[in-house]
A and B are shown apart, each in its own frame.
Chain A
Amino acid sequence: MKFNTNTANRKIPTELHGRKLIPFSGKGKGPYRKRKYAPKIRKVSASDNKVLKSLRKAIKKSELTDGETISFHHHFRNGDFLLNIVCHEIAKMGLKDIRLVPSSIQGVHKEILPYLEKGIITSINCGTSGTIADAISHGKMEGLLTIRSHGGRARSIENGDVEIDVAFIASPTSDIYGNINGVYGEYACGSLGYAFPDAQFANHVIAVTNNLVPFPNTPISISQEHVDTVVELDKPIGDPSGIVSTTLRITRDPKGLKIARNCIEVLKASGLLKDGFSYQSGAGGTTLAATNYLREYMISKKIKGSFAMGGATKSLVKMLEDGLFKTILDVQSFDTYAVNSLLNNLNHIEIGASQYANPFTSGCVVNLLDTIILGGTEVDVNFNVNTSTESDGRIMWGMGGHQDTAEGAKLTIIAVPLLRGRIPIIVDDVISINSPGENIDVVVTERGMAINPNSPYYSILKRNKKLDIKSIDELKKIAEDLISGKPKKPKTTDRIVAMIEYRDGSVLDVIYQVED
């Protein structure tokens, strides 16, 4: 196998599973196609009926065949049932060599594991967590896992890197003509943003709903001209209570709270925290706590922000309701409070994945962010962030919008503890890179923070005497002293099981099968 070295200093094969790989060469420099991909033209006439009671009939009507690609959205998160239901049906129908393109794979999807082992599902394109991620790490899937950010996924669908043959859209409410929203029905999940590119660019779209209503269903999130079939299913498509089960609650860990407070100190010192401020945070326990500290500070200083971006949580929605932000732009609702807000509050706006974070559009919202607070499993001395692999080499997580927001935001803060148990988080070299160091401004830990010397905020933050600033090497050394040494490097085979794309489609890193 021949390799190139990319600008993140990672060895990338020139070709993998028949695809020529373009090594990552820095932000804004990636491969660029001149035209968007165009899906097949379909024709539905006045006499045609779109509604079917049987999922099997709908799949047959889509003419899905071996070797093709199907997609899903993950707004139900760990409460999603539809991906499992469809994969069971496809297996029963005898289809094989299917490429799966969901916006995320969660723990609940462990049911599809036998299909990876039997060659029914042979490759996956998305962020993957839980049992399926672990199985892929152990080499149980024939093809490759391609890990993309949310913006990168939208880009890959719109520029044709990924051609979706059939998109399955879990639809909390749909009318008989396929006008869909996520805010009504027993199984409301809120925003359907990640499914927007699928609906627009798939060759065939199947809406699956438990709540079929007369035409026209409003509000319309995904509209009828994209939807070929509406399946009315008896079994629930998802359980909204599963949405919150994989997002952490606000941390009560004193370490986490200290990190959260330090993040807000950085924001205050940066000069960005003033009227018109825009903000996004991940949904981890520490970043949720940071959002609450931000709230207190904005109230005390009477600061009125412009927009906050979701993952919309109750904390964020409360800030909207209290006038601390004018608008929430919501690609994904993280709890039922946010779902209700999306339904009832005119300033809580649903946006699609491309509007959110696709780099190859006429401008996505992440470009307008002042600040993003993110997490990670590891950070290295070059500020590269790992979100996908644990320090034992196994794939455990996806990356959400990490890459997109880190590149887009003016100030990108990584909030991580120095240790998780005995595992050091700041290391010489991360196992795999999800977010390149050039996009990271500050790494905040409970024992001080490190500022990237290349960050435009370096000098303004460095001057601030209140901040406990250390070099990234010092932080690494403190961790190593606490744990008396360095952890053993994981043993891997020479087989590549996953590839991490940058949001532009170039390749940041590859992940090898772990050895047991």
Chain B
Amino acid sequence: MKIERIAQAGSLESCDILITVEPSKPKTGIHIHLESPAVKQFGDRIKSEITEVVKRLEIQNVKIIAIDKGSLEYCIKARTETALRRASGE
């Protein structure tokens, strides 16, 4: 899958996450900027959950901005996938 435009999924409601996806140049890899109230306790885990979805969709280069409000794993994965699919023009 290829990221062609900026897209979003999610919200800033409590227990949700707002994922913004932007295209990036070839060979720049996956970049994730994360803000979360639980960044110390769960920062690495949230990033790896996002990365997992990106890799599953076979995306090599993307910039992701994640503003977390205490979301759980299934929410993070669903929001990430939706944002990526919207950005790919599917």
Spell out A's residues near B (CB within 8 Å): 391-393, 419-423, 482-485, 487-488, 490-491
Contact = CB atoms under 8 A, between A and B. Distances in A.
11 contacts: A392-B38, A392-B40, A420-B70, A421-B38, A483-B42, A484-B45, A485-B45, A487-B38, A487-B41, A488-B42, A490-B41
Nearest to A394: B40
A421 B44 contact: no
B40 A490 contact: yes
Interface residues of B, number: 14
> Majority SS of interface residues in chain A?
loop
A391 B41 CA distance: 8
B13 to A, nearest CB: 11
B71 interface: yes
Interface in B14-47: 14-15, 37-38, 40-42, 44-45
Interface of B: 14-15, 37-38, 40-42, 44-45, 69-73
Given A421-B71, A422-B71, A392 B41 contact: yes
Nearest to B14: A421
* Top-10 shortest CB links A-B: A421-B70, A487-B41, A392-B40, A484-B73, A488-B41, A422-B70, A422-B38, A422-B42, A423-B38, A391-B41
Nearest to A516: B40
Contacts of B70: 420-423
Contacts of A420: 70
A261 to B, nearest CB: 21
A491 B39 CA distance: 13
Contact of B42 (A487, A490, A491): A487
Contacts of A485: 45
A421 B40 contact: no
A422 B44 CA distance: 13
B75 to A, nearest CB: 9
B45 A421 contact: no
Nearest to B40: A392
Contacts of A491: 40
Contacts of A423: 38, 41, 70
Contacts of B41: 391-392, 422-423, 487-488, 490
A392 B70 CA distance: 14
A193 B58 CA distance: 65
Nearest to B49: A484
Nearest to A489: B41
A490 B71 CA distance: 20
B40 A483 contact: no
Nearest to B76: A422
Nearest to A486: B41
B73 A483 contact: yes
A488 B47 CA distance: 14
B72 A483 contact: yes
A488 to B, nearest CB: 5
A393 B71 CA distance: 20
